[in-house]
Chains A and B, each alone.
Chain A
């Protein structure tokens, strides 16, 4: 079977597993979320008809009148129609609307800062690994401090130093609330200004891992025979660094992208909370605090979808840049 088909198949299985987990969690855990949810809905002025109750039971479990597999089929049907239910905390907005409003913020913030951190970390790691034994290299274990720092704590420290003490950046929010969102220079400028601290947090906290991985691979690649051959041929060190060593050393970093992305997404969920950033992470936490189970599950599904999609793209890319993966399968 071709590499690409195998990968597509794997992600299809992973997607199915995520959907099923989402279905199983409320049914396996104690408590009846449907009642809590309907009570909340009534408080907000929603009308609770038997149909609403049935819809939520399908989404969250608790309804035992139907056999489990029927519930499962109905749940999948609802999902494919894009029906994630009505959000309680943003009543009467649909869950999918709430998510589609906040998703762009997170995708831009997390996407840009992850790419930035990966490029910076890999480049720095290549240079540090290229000249082992220098003073820079002996400092490498110190980067583990960066890797072990909790994202949200780094966010607190940066906010304290750069926003409260120095006053360079706003402490909270995603944009200047006096402006109305739109594609104009003023609003985008304000979004960048507000997004700088969250982005800096994610870059700083994830940089260490990239740097360390790249540096270690670089050091072991340099002891390979083909690097020696390249040196013996009299190629310039820059060419060896670029075309021989770093090209091969970067492969494990690319292959390990899935694990890194999981960490970054997990970290950024809480980072958004620190900055009250209008992204999907704050929505998730808000939903948990308000017992908005429908929104909670919707956000989880979207985060999983986004992470799976990003990993699929990277895996496909990996198949292109490393021909061995295609040859093996």
Chain B
């Protein structure tokens, strides 16, 4: 206990990656997985928790549209999140709305990622004129403000033909540009590596070079861009629905907020009606962003080294403090902490 050397070996139970020797080689697949940190755990819990809620909760709650004669009422035992002005169960609405928002986030995320992969990777691979044209196109889409454009497009589509897929396509078409630029930059650096050149020289077809040689190197970047696209899509759809321009028959977190705003939830002080949907979006977005930090560490190993370095520096500082204390006060209780 009094031996100041003890803290050198981390006690069992606070096990983390610092215990894993840095010299041990990792397999290729393992390199693509992020390291577990407390913040990543928080992010994963948020994302998984909300996804499970969105997928399973609609089966467990009652009909979200059922109208009761009790009117606007706060949280109670029967309705944990209270009821709306027409006596609808807010928790049930939240469950269905979360599912709707996740659905649109996923659809738009996939569509936008496909678009950005095409314009980013294919353009950069072909180079020259195609690259110039594609990168000009994505830069133009980048500077044209997205939501006003989406609003104008949705305004021209008649309400009856404004379905889930229309909104999804519109959001994807206006939201792919930023990731295409990132993917282009990454592809440009991969494109000139020797093994890509070798594969080209050996007569592989372009799609095979892209899919087999280039794409695997870009997977972490694509994953991080996909996560961004999902966040942007959920936020964008919520904004559209909030102003009444969302898909006509869907129920998402944005439509919930739309009804809350139009049902005078704010002047009536019905916080249980408008707080949960927005909080759900914010927490899900936060979870995804934190997961993205960890993906960034795979793309840019510098970041990871920096984190490990900081961690070591913190540990060293702690140890130094403890040693100093130990020397000043030779108390066994002190070094045991």
Query: Which A residues form the contact surface with B (CB < 8 A)?
Result: 10-11, 13-14, 17-18, 21-22, 25-26, 29-31, 33, 132-133, 141-142, 144-145, 147-154, 156-157, 159-160, 164-165, 171, 216, 219-220, 223, 258-259, 261-262, 265-267, 269-270, 273-274, 284-285, 287-289, 291, 293, 296-297, 299-300, 303-304, 307-308, 311
Contacts and interface: CB of A to CB of B under 8 A. Distances in A.
A26 B152 CA distance: 9
Interface residues of B, number: 59
Nearest to B137: A17
Contacts of A307: 143-145
User: How would you classify the secondary structure of chain B's contact residues: helix, strand, loop or mixed?
Assistant: helix
B266 A304 contact: no
User: How would you classify the secondary structure of chain A's contact residues: helix, strand, loop or mixed?
Assistant: helix
Given A10-B136, A149-B278, A150-B282, A284 B151 contact: yes
Given A150-B239, A156-B274, A171-B266, A269 B148 contact: yes
B155 A31 contact: no
B267 interface: yes
Nearest to A147: B289
Instruction: Name which of B43, B261, B282 has the most chain A CB atoms within 10 A of its CB.
Output: B282
Given A220-B306, A262-B142, A29 B153 contact: yes
Contact of A156 (B140, B235, B244, B266): B266
B239 A270 contact: yes
Contact of B152 (A152, A300, A311): A300
Contacts of B149: 21, 300
Contacts of B238: 150, 152-153
Given A145-B286, A148-B284, A153-B282, A25 B145 contact: no
Nearest to B293: A141
Contact of A262 (B145, B269, B286): B145
26 contacts: A14-B140, A14-B144, A30-B161, A31-B158, A141-B43, A144-B289, A148-B281, A148-B283, A149-B282, A150-B235, A150-B238, A154-B278, A156-B266, A156-B274, A157-B275, A159-B266, A164-B269, A223-B302, A223-B306, A259-B142, A262-B142, A265-B145, A274-B261, A288-B243, A293-B156, A300-B149
B147 A265 contact: yes
B221 interface: no
Interface of B: 39, 42-43, 136, 139-140, 142-149, 151-158, 161, 178, 231, 235-236, 238-239, 242-245, 257, 261, 266-267, 269, 271, 274-275, 277-278, 281-286, 288-290, 293, 302-303, 306, 310, 313-314
B310 A150 contact: no
A145 B145 CA distance: 23
B286 A284 contact: no
Instruction: Name which of A30, A144, A304 has the most chain B CB atoms within 10 A of its CB.
Output: A144
B139 A31 contact: no
Given A220-B302, A300-B149, A270 B243 contact: yes
8 tightest A-B CB contacts, nearest first? A148-B285, A153-B278, A266-B147, A144-B289, A288-B155, A133-B310, A145-B286, A149-B282
Contacts of B242: 150, 152, 270, 273
B290 A144 contact: yes
Given A141-B39, A160-B266, A289-B244, A152 B239 contact: yes
A289 B149 CA distance: 15
Instruction: Name which of A10, A148, A219, A297 has the most chain B CB atoms within 10 A of its CB.
Output: A148
Instruction: Name which of A25, A150, A171, A265 has the most chain B CB atoms within 10 A of its CB.
Output: A150
B152 A25 contact: yes
Instruction: Name which of B42, B143, B231 has the most chain A CB atoms within 10 A of its CB.
Output: B143
A133 B155 CA distance: 49
A149 B151 CA distance: 20
A14 B281 contact: no
A191 to B, nearest CB: 22
